[in-house]
Amino acid sequence: MRYKCMLLIGLTGGALFGQSVPISAPAPDQLAFFDHFFSLLGDPTQSPDTLQSREQNAALMFRFNQGEASKLHILAQQYLAAALAFNQSVLATTENKAVLSDSERTNLQNLNLQREQLIARLATNLLQEISPASAARFLALVAKGRP
């Protein structure tokens, strides 16, 4: 019992004294938001100026400091590179085909799984690299369905 109380105090102590507990990974129900979020910041169909503007607006909305905004930029660039590769792979698999073979459908499913894993990795990286306070603000807006 004594150890349980000590653990409870240790886990809640940061919250009681105004400190945030670092967030290690997004919850599964938050991944749809992160998918949309990174899709906006790394959309290969948009101009570099549009993507830069979106990054700046996101950094302002979530009140990221300069270091956090820089990390967001790096992650958005990683998403963009992966999205380009993903789109090329999908095109190579489906181009000029009215019907896909079983192996081609499996290939597309694997590509989609890789994309989902990328989103989870980028989201986790973002939440770990920004301050706990910024992560808490970010996730609070996600919970409200914003932006």
d(CA 63, CA 72): 12
What percentage of the chain exceeds 90 in pLDDT?
Answer: 67
Q: What is the pLDDT of residue 142?
A: 82
CB 24 within 8 A of CB 127: yes
CB 11 within 8 A of CB 21: yes
CA nearest neighbour of 122 among 130, 133, 111, 132: 130
Q: What is the pLDDT of residue 59?
A: 94
Q: What is the pTM of this model?
A: 0.78
Q: Which amino acid is at 107?
A: N
Residue spans of the chain under pLDDT 70? 1-24, 146-147
Q: At what angle do helices 31-41 and 66-94 cross, to 10 degrees?
A: 90
